A and B are shown apart, each in its own frame.
Chain A
């Protein structure tokens, strides 16, 4: 089955991203295709490479980066939601005159159309949120 994943809550504060990660990993292991993972609302905060969780805890962003590398996942962060919350890539940094960027490897910033497209193209769109 072709699946789209939507994550609407930030890391650590909420289990949504953890559950989505476990679900995505399990789906891939069962041979399903992940069309796209889309990050919206506070979910965009999953995409910062600047988080430093305690060493005895999981690193949620790094888990996504590694899973994306292993399975060539498309991790997409909503640009409007990301701009509000200070999640920035190099392009946004230049466009908005910011002094840095913080997006983690494996993630890309794009528009909400990518979410709608996931809804259209995937057999199921599975939401993880509140």
Chain B
């Protein structure tokens, strides 16, 4: 497939409580094989998906947060987190998993995948997309 489109996965829900976060991640992983230009955005309770130290042992559900670590290997390395959503929940970037990727254009240097952006910046990013999948 020759034409490359910009795909944005918009994650708006907490990781547990509903299945949206998990099934969004499943689309991202399958979609990675199609070699499109992929970004993820985390807004509202969606920012909780990236919080480090998740422990689901008391709720009988699988902790799928380690899977986010694998995204860099799938060339999914643009993870935008909305600043306002973090602030409204008393979170900072330090509360998030330190997700990284190896930049093949820069001698495989390890770089952070997460970028905290304002809601206005995120609006611009969304505006550039061809396909937005909101979960």
Contact = CB atoms under 8 A, between A and B. Distances in A.
Interface residues on A, range: 10 to 19
Interface in B81-126: none
B81 to A, nearest CB: 21
B5 A115 contact: no
B23 A81 contact: yes
Contacts of B19: 41
Nearest to B10: A127
Interface of A: 6, 8, 40-41, 80-81, 111-113, 115-117, 119-120, 125, 127, 129
Contacts of B1: 120
6 contacts: A40-B27, A80-B26, A112-B27, A119-B130, A119-B133, A120-B5
Given A112-B30, A113-B30, A120-B36, A125 B131 contact: yes
Interface residues on B, range: 20 to 34
Given A116-B36, A119-B5, A120-B36, A111 B135 contact: no
Contacts of A125: 131, 133
A116 B134 CA distance: 13
Nearest to A41: B23
B7 interface: yes
A117 B131 CA distance: 11
Interface string B23-55: 100110011011010000000000000000000
B23 A129 contact: no
B3 interface: yes
B20 interface: yes
Contacts of A41: 19-20, 23, 135
A115 B27 contact: yes
A119 B131 contact: yes
Nearest to A119: B131
